[in-house]
Amino acid sequence: MKTAAILLFVLAIASPVLSQSGRLETRQVALEGTITDLDNGTPIERVTVRVIGSNVSTLSNSDGRYRLLLQPGEWELHFSHVAYRTATANVAVDSGGTTLDIALERNVYELKGATVYERAYDPAQEIILQAIARKRDILNQLADYSYDAYTKVVVTDLEKQGAEGIFLIAESQTTAYWEQPDKYKEIITARRQSGNIDAENNLVSVGQILNFNANRIDLGQYSLVTPTATDALNSYNYYLIDTVYLDGRTVFRLEIEPRSNADPLFVGTIDIADSTFDVVAVDIGVNDAVRFPFIDSLRYSQSFALFNNEFWMPIDIRFGAQVHLGIKFPGIPQNLGVSQVASLYSYSFERGHRKGLFDEYVIEVEPRADDIDSAAWDSRQTIPLTVTETDAYQRIDSIEALPPSFREIATAVLFGTVLLATVGYPDLFHFNRAEGYYLGLGGELTKLSPDVSLRVKSGYSFGREQWQHEYGGAYRLNEDRRLWVGGYWRDDIVKRPTVISDPDYNPTFGALGWKLDPFDYYHERGFELFARSKVANYVDASIGYLDARQESAPITSDHSIFAKSEPVIRDNPSIVDGRLRALSASLTFDSRPLMRNKGYTRRIETSQRTSLTIGVEYASPDLIDNDFDYRRYYAKLYARRRMFDMGLTTINAFAGMAEGDLPPQRYFTVDHGNGILFGNGEFSTMDKHNFAGNRAASVFVNHDFDRLLFRKSGLPGIKDIPFTLQIFGGAFWTEFNDHAANTGDEFVRNTGGPYAEAGFGIGNLTPFISPFNLGLFFTWQVSEYKTGYFNWTFGFAF
């Protein structure tokens, strides 16, 4: 099953949530071999193989195989592993490639320590204090660095074994850059993947490594104190459990123990070099306070190597997790194992980076990343595939080459029908009270070229008994500035703007099922022109011109599947008919970083983010012949932030005002939301009523404690409650001020004073049907409007 959804779903879990082709020269050839145990001949995994006198290194895979990319000549190799004696070997690499196998002797000098809890003092306390001080010194010295990397993600079906158990494989080769204080960019120079993944969805990368030099690491909604944070001793106990030898030096292995299991923290071990107190390895998981929906068994490790006799840098990064789905999706196993491994090599330090390298784009894909041939790929792959992985590649690709079976087709049709009936695809089918049933064809054509986007839609409204159309497109004039120009012509039913509901929300499911629809509609025939561009990092500007004839749209259908006996809850209010010619402009700040995938751009979701849009709309006969005369101003804010290590707070806010004779189709409307499931930022007690005016303001605040409030209470019977908790509340206000009344205004509700509500939600009620984990939400109106005073509803609450 070749779908983008598979990779986006799995790789989002696997990721710890300039344009050049790297620095390897074409003259380089492969030096490879197998590393085994001298006593029993078994392969040894994760042996560090370094080339003396260079910054080249790699690690052996689970078959004990390693690969280095070197120029022909004489080289000295260094093999190290904490459980084995360090070994060196001289090798002559010829132009055709060379094989060097080696057997390592077990390290008989390992000294076992013992974990002793509840001690007032442990030697580990002094060791970690020295490591924290060393970290501070290194950060003060290190200004910038870069590296090349090979990254592989393997997703397995936990219910199967061997090659048949591998569900998909994705690989990439990248070049990454870092600069103080925390600038990062990674470029995918080559990639390949199993046949059940589209290349454009293979965005495997090292990512911004879990940076243990930072004081805090963000994992989803949590912010975890790192083991070497300046205040780490406030959160962790450290115990010296082993003393091992690595490359002839003593290495202390410390156990990391959270002082409180109520706080989200790491558990595991950290290895610190004697004398220098550099961190040389980390192997950690998370405690029970960290919870991710339908994901468990998280494990993360890093191995470090010394470069330039000064900097210990990661050379091997591994991430593992298990995903358990409560219900089965077509083509996706219910129990998945996710394994990501990255090999980092060819470090360069203190060379400086070109001006302008670091911008909004943290991940980019080179245009020729998918064109690399197998020989070129093999010459740069630093960790060989295992035999099982090679067999899995062949098996998956051969299956994808077969035509789909009748069962697969029937399953896809059934699944597509369910999605169409619930989520919907409005260009194909939708329903509302103004159009009735609509059937058509259309969509966005974006794959023709990264610089071209086309919009084509035609269909028939059975309620209006008329054809409806929309055609247009956009062309990108400048990629770096994200400068687009375009336009659309439409003869269609359109939605009035609303404060709460997203304009792309498709109300078909609620409207057809229970006559629930937050939108009002009118008919528009005309054209729209626009231009948008980046004006600064994270800031975009747009301008537009609308020239259209607008007319009221009557109700054409009150059909409902489950509410046939109920009348239509709301009328579709009339508008002021006429020809509107309006200029508009907006400025948007969005803190989310960007990803550029061979010319296509998209934003990367982050647990914390802020977006702010301010806009203006102007229509006047003094500017151009016009039936309308008004000025409309608005601002919209969305912010999500962690608060006091007690969860995430989300704020939705809006403010708008207008001058002149604002027509109803441009009123500021606070709508009642979808009315089916609880929506963050939606008011739940409005009883299917909308409020409008030529002035409006709204704010809605939601705080998600997850389980933290219960756990941190420390109370027996409370701290172990498995449910999550949210609290929320909001208020809005609408009014008409200095406004010439329009026909139908007498039916428009406005508050004249604040409309307020508050409530709470209990989540994680149905983990057995993950990822559709439901919560129950209770909301009370705390003002005095005759809508609803109390409402309860289900919603997604993980």
What is the 3-state secondary structure of 503-524? CCCCCHHHHHHHCCCCCCEEEE
Alpha carbons 656 and 613: distance in angstroms, whole number: 12
Phi, psi angles (nearest 5°) of residue 489: -120, 135
Q: Which strand (E) or helix (H) includes residue 137? A: helix 123-141
> Residue 405 has what pLDDT?
66
Percentage, residues of the chain above pLDDT 90: 52
Alpha carbons 545 and 529: distance in angstroms, whole number: 5
Q: Which strand (E) or helix (H) includes residue 580? A: strand 578-590
Q: How many angstroms separate the first and last alpha carbons of the chain?
A: 27
> Residue 412 has what pLDDT?
67
Q: pLDDT at residue 109 above 50?
A: no
Q: pLDDT at residue 123 above 90?
A: no
Q: Which strand (E) or helix (H) includes residue 547? A: strand 539-552
> Residue 209 has what pLDDT?
62
Model pLDDT for residues 555-609, shown as the tens digit of each residue: 999 888 888 777 666 789 999 999 999 999 999 999 999 999 988 999 998 889 9
Alpha carbons 341 and 150: distance in angstroms, whole number: 8
> Residue 773 has what pLDDT?
84
Q: Which strand (E) or helix (H) includes residue 734? A: strand 724-735
Alpha carbons 301 and 267: distance in angstroms, whole number: 12
> Residue 420 has what pLDDT?
63
Model pLDDT for residues 439-481, shown as the tens digit of each residue: 999 999 988 899 999 999 999 999 999 999 999 999 999 999 9
Alpha carbons 81 and 49: distance in angstroms, whole number: 9
Give one word for 5, left, alpha or beta, with left for phi > 0 and alpha for psi -120 to 50: alpha
3-state class (DSSP) for residue 605:
coil
Q: How many CB atoms lie within 10 A of CB 202?
A: 25
> Given the structure tokens 């007032």, which residue do they identify?
120
Q: How many CB atoms lie within 10 A of CB 643?
A: 11
Alpha carbons 2 and 740: distance in angstroms, whole number: 57
Secondary-structure percent of the chain, ordered helix, strand, coil, rounded to 5: 10, 50, 40
Structure token pair of residue 783: 């003002």
pTM: 0.85
- What is the rounded average pLDDT of the residues 425-433? 91
Alpha carbons 70 and 90: distance in angstroms, whole number: 13
Angle at 757 between CA 756 and CA 761, to 5 degrees: 160
Q: pLDDT at residue 701 above 60?
A: yes
CB 265 within 8 Å of CB 223: no
CB 273 within 8 Å of CB 280: yes
